[in-house]
Structure 1
């Protein structure tokens, strides 16, 4: 990697990808251009910008991070009634837009299932996949129950979802719409999550000001309802079909997604491993350097070997 000013590593770049039927996806990119690429998928409800903030705080400049606003969030066109597997054409189009053949991928929280779907359905373009504090499905065989072991509020979220979209809409007003309410946060965030969120608040504000993004024209509530209802529908792939190396990460203090979600997912994916971080909760920033290092470790090792050979390291003395 050629010497580059630190400021260039930390300056996010915004791009837009055209999709079918006049839809667009807003993406974000940060980090050096000559290092391995990782695609990040955000959770529910959120945007890709939060992952850019986490990267800037992590110091993980050994990789380049690309994230995006999922359908209906931030600056990306909604796709009403979308299913979990509908994320795959989005990732495919982003890699095409960046002229990248393949990349590693991770999904956080509600993005975890989406990363796994991409790994299953786009194996030639995905080198590794990680699911970070991701939820299991609420559909199909396998004996998994989304509501088992979660916090009472998260149990309520799925129980209401099973009643239909309008019940999910009412639930949004009671839970996700209040995630930033100081009087409500202790019901959904661990103490350490709250500390991290407050620590990163000024950095997020700075990046938002630098990017000067327009206010989203789309309804976060609608996007949330589409997300929750998609977990009740067929996923469009089988966990057992995932062939790329996969690792699942979880925080033992997570109040949003119970640890048994990750434990169950590990049993469904061939050769998947599970890493549990004690004392951490749901917030991604605590995990991000570990996730990124695992995702690109082989790529970095190969690049180091090539540099060693170019420098004459293949000579015998």
Structure 2
């Protein structure tokens, strides 16, 4: 893993980690809510074996990136634009995982021509759709509701959270035997490191929730790049209906589902499958 602190034009600092083949084809990565750039380590081996270089960015307030109290989907797309310019990337693929999906989708819409391939893994759909919002698991729906009414309560809860190893062990034990084939203790450690990297501050988490509650569905109609949507059929956190909505509103999309997979397994399997698809498409081009 290589790391970089990128100074942006507005004076903020953006923290970046790179995984896989250091000389490989670049792939941008947008992590999930409450996580960090280190989440992309889940796909490190797949990227290395496919000659891909994952460039994973901490959104403002996460990990080592400077907080931005006025952060928006538009601002994130501008940050991504600066990242691409820094690495002299004209076009590349973009993966968005979980609540990083809306950031990836809107950036694809806004950065016309710069994103060659969009991959949404276990992605959240637009929260302005009442039915999609209703279907969310309480673990995600409750903080999205609370950010509108009592953001300081969320800050207090975040600061009181204890990211002990036993929490992640419990997560592992709750997985089915089939899911544990993909979410191994080794992979779970990578997820734990990603979450703990952002545990020191609530700023990224709170800004994410505020941004995710703003309208963004209209961006989907403007995406004209090939899009792959990877979803778990047993995902209770972000149910399959979200993926179906995204597929129905992105013109050049392909929806692939994973039978028997819940949210965590979907993210692990989806990240690696997305990288394999990117490698396959590159070989065919």
Please classify the TM superposition score into its range, dividing by the shorter chain length.
Answer: 0.7 to 0.9
Residues 107/16 of structure 1: CA separation in 2 closer, same or farther (3 Å cut): same
Match of 1:44 among 33, 52, 55: 33
- TM-score (normalizing by structure 2): 0.84
Which of 203, 227, 240 is 1:246 aligned to? 227
Distance 1:203 1:153 in 2: 21
- The aligned residue for residue 199 of structure 1 is 186
* Deviation (angstroms), 1:57: 6.4
Residues 225-246 of structure 1: CA deviation (Å, up to 9, x unaligned): 1101111223395210011111
Which one of the candidate residues 121, 125, 128 is aligned to 1:132? 121
Q: Give the equivalent residue in structure 1 for 2:255.
A: 274
Give, in angstroms, the shift of residue 103 of structure 1: 0.6
Distance 2:198 2:186 in 1: 29
Q: For the structure 1 residues 53 and 155, does the alpha-carbon distance in structure 2 shift closer, same or farther, using more than 3 Å as the test?
A: closer
Residues 292 and 216 of structure 1, relative CA distance in 2, 3 Å threshold: closer
What are the within-5 Å matches in structure 2 for residues 143-158 of structure 1? 143-158=129-144
SS of 2:237's equivalent?
coil
What is the root-mean-square deviation of aligned Cα atoms in Å?
A: 3.3
Superposition deviation, residue 66 in structure 1:
1.1
CA shift at 1:280, angstroms?
1.9
1:172 and 1:21 map into 2 onto residues whose CA distance is 28
**Structure 2 Cα separation of the partners of residues 130 and 203 of structure 1:** 21
Which whole-Å CA distance do the structure 2 matches of 1:76 and 1:134 have between them?
Answer: 23
Post-superposition offset of 1:291: 0.5
Distance across 2 between alignment mates of 1:63 and 1:14 = 16
Q: Unaligned stretches of 5+ in structure 1?
A: 1-11, 209-214, 303-317
Matched, 1:221 2:208: no
User: 5+ unaligned residues in a row in structure 2: which ranges?
Assistant: none
Shift of 1:148: 2.3
Mapped pair 1:292 → 2:275: yes
Shift of 1:108: 0.3
CA drift of 1:62 comes to 3.1
Equivalent in the alignment of 1:70: 59
Match of 2:89 among 68, 80, 100: 100
Determine the C-alpha separation between the residues in 1 that align with 2:283 and 2:70. Answer: 40
**Aligned counterparts of 1:240 and 1:282: Cα–Cα separation in 2:** 26
* 8 Å Cα contact 1:144/1:264 also seen in 2: no
Aligned to 1:307: none
User: Which structure: larger Rg?
Assistant: 1
Q: Which residue of 2 aligns with 1:28?
A: 17
Structure 2 residue 84 is the aligned partner of structure 1 residue 91: no
Change (3 A) 1:180 1:173: farther
The answer as to whether partners of 2:39 and 2:190 remain within 8 angstroms in 1 is: no
Which residue in the other structure is 1:314 paired with? none
Matched with 1:161 is 147
